[in-house]
Structure 1
Amino acid sequence: MNARVTDYDVLRVFCGPRGGHGNTLAVVRDGTRMPERDDRQAFAAQLGFSETVFVDDPERGVIDIYTPGARLPFAGYPCVGTAWLLDVPELVTPAGVVGARLDGEFSWIEARPEWAPARTLRQYGSAAEVDALKVPSPGEWLYAWAWQDEAAGRVRARAFPGRGDGIEEDEATGAAALLLTHQLGRALNITQGAGSQILTAPQPEGWVEVGGRVFLEH
């Protein structure tokens, strides 16, 4: 591993209305200093965040995304956070070109549901049932959700990656929110984890927008 790569930004993505919660993300702005995939994977595992992003071209928005145990062609909250940090109109991922925009306090991306990794979307009868769930054994990637207010599009959700890589529950998950929005065909206001907020909206031709607040930790 290239020992020179020590500088990275830490963001919280999909924060709640008062700035709390959100899923923690590491962004290595100068990814070219660590070009090898094996080194990137090892560094992501060393940091231990749900995802770590390596920026290969900050002007064009070319990025490479890793969990502690795998490389991802696309992921939601890393794209939302990195687009906000770089202030670019689009991101180039292995899955495709992700549109990006800022709207007041919210950072938005536009992506396609087929880019998202497979998730089990399981509906429960109430938000209380979702709140009461225990972390399942490693296996399927489970997105547990229930309506808080169906008429208003308000959802309660929790995410259990089930990868066995030390991340038992994701605080906020953009790709799963994208898939749920595509499945339901409507805009959603999702409260996930301990209090993170994810906003979504279907777009023409199968695209979906996913947005939230981003804060720079350091």
Structure 2
Amino acid sequence: MNTAYDVLAVFCGPDGRHGNRLGVVRDGRARPDEASRQALAKELGHSETVFVDDPERGVLDVYTPSVRLPFAGHPVVGAAWLLDLEVLDLPVGEVWARHDGEFTWIGARPEWAPPRTLRQYGSAAEVEALDVPPPGVGAPPAERGRLYAWAWEEEAAGRVRARAFPGRGDGVDEDEATGAAALLLTALLGRALNITQGRGSQIMTAPGPDGVIELGGRVRHLGSGPLTR
């Protein structure tokens, strides 16, 4: 089967580097069933792959290499940028997006994010020195091992250093940039954050009205092509 797809980097740093890789299949009809979508997401090996079922209405279907997700931050930000849409349709409901210069923003609710252990460390250096924990280690079993390690870099300015370990055992040992975890941390702290995650990705957040949190970052197009299988 020949499936055209794009690869994006979402939540890039100020220098345009880093960002979490995202696969986008613009024509979801090429992989119409859940099994074939899951197989492609596993083959591509990105933290998430998103299938676009309606490019005009922004109907999205998101997969990790091992599970289907009703919502994930960096796939929605990336798809909003690629499709140039202001509204996206996901199983959790409508997600509004806006484009502000170099940043693409979405409005999301923290309750859409899968549960994680948000573990605070004493310094950014401690976070950077962490080893990747084995799958399932670092969080209660109910949270599937998801660990979001964070520390203040500059608390007064809302600057955070973070790393994310999904613990799924599907080949993705560490997420370079995790929008859903940023939502949870923003809700916990109740303030806007400027998060540096992974090797140098940047995630911006801002609490809004009615429990909605804006989640934003830079997106780059890395390439596109067919996957024959």
1:188 is matched with 193
Task: Report how far residue 97 of structure 1 moved.
Answer: 1.1
Equivalent position amino acid for 1:74 in 2: F
TM-score with structure 1 setting the length = 0.98
1:147 is matched with 152
| Residues in 2 aligned to 1:113 and 1:16: alpha-carbon distance in whole angstroms | 23
Regions of 4+ moved over 3 Å: none
**Given the alignment of the two structures, is residue 125 of structure 1 paired with residue 122 of structure 2, yes or no?**
yes
2:15 is matched with 18
CA-atom RMSD, angstroms?
0.6
Task: Report how far residue 156 of structure 1 moved.
Answer: 0.2
Equivalent position amino acid for 1:202 in 2: P
TM-score with structure 2 setting the length = 0.93
Task: Report how far residue 4 of structure 1 moved.
Answer: 2.9
Aligned length: 215
Tell me the secondary structure at the aligned position of residue 217 of structure 1. Answer: strand
1:214 is matched with 219
Task: Report how far residue 34 of structure 1 moved.
Answer: 1.2
Equivalent position amino acid for 1:4 in 2: N
2:98 is matched with 101
Equivalent position amino acid for 1:50 in 2: S
1:9 is matched with 6
Equivalent position amino acid for 2:154 in 1: D
**Given the alignment of the two structures, is residue 85 of structure 1 paired with residue 82 of structure 2, yes or no?**
yes
**Given the alignment of the two structures, is residue 37 of structure 1 paired with residue 34 of structure 2, yes or no?**
yes
Identity of aligned residues (%): 72
**Given the alignment of the two structures, is residue 73 of structure 1 paired with residue 70 of structure 2, yes or no?**
yes
Tell me the secondary structure at the aligned position of residue 79 of structure 2. Answer: helix
Unaligned runs of 5+ in 1: none
Task: Report how far residue 95 of structure 1 moved.
Answer: 1.3
Tell me the secondary structure at the aligned position of residue 52 of structure 1. Answer: strand
2:111 is matched with 114
1:176 is matched with 181
Task: Report how far residue 33 of structure 1 moved.
Answer: 1.9
Q: 1:119-146: per-residue Cα shift (whole Å, max 9, x none)?
A: 1111001001000100001111000000
| Residues in 1 aligned to 2:86 and 2:79: alpha-carbon distance in whole angstroms | 11
Tell me the secondary structure at the aligned position of residue 21 of structure 2. Answer: strand
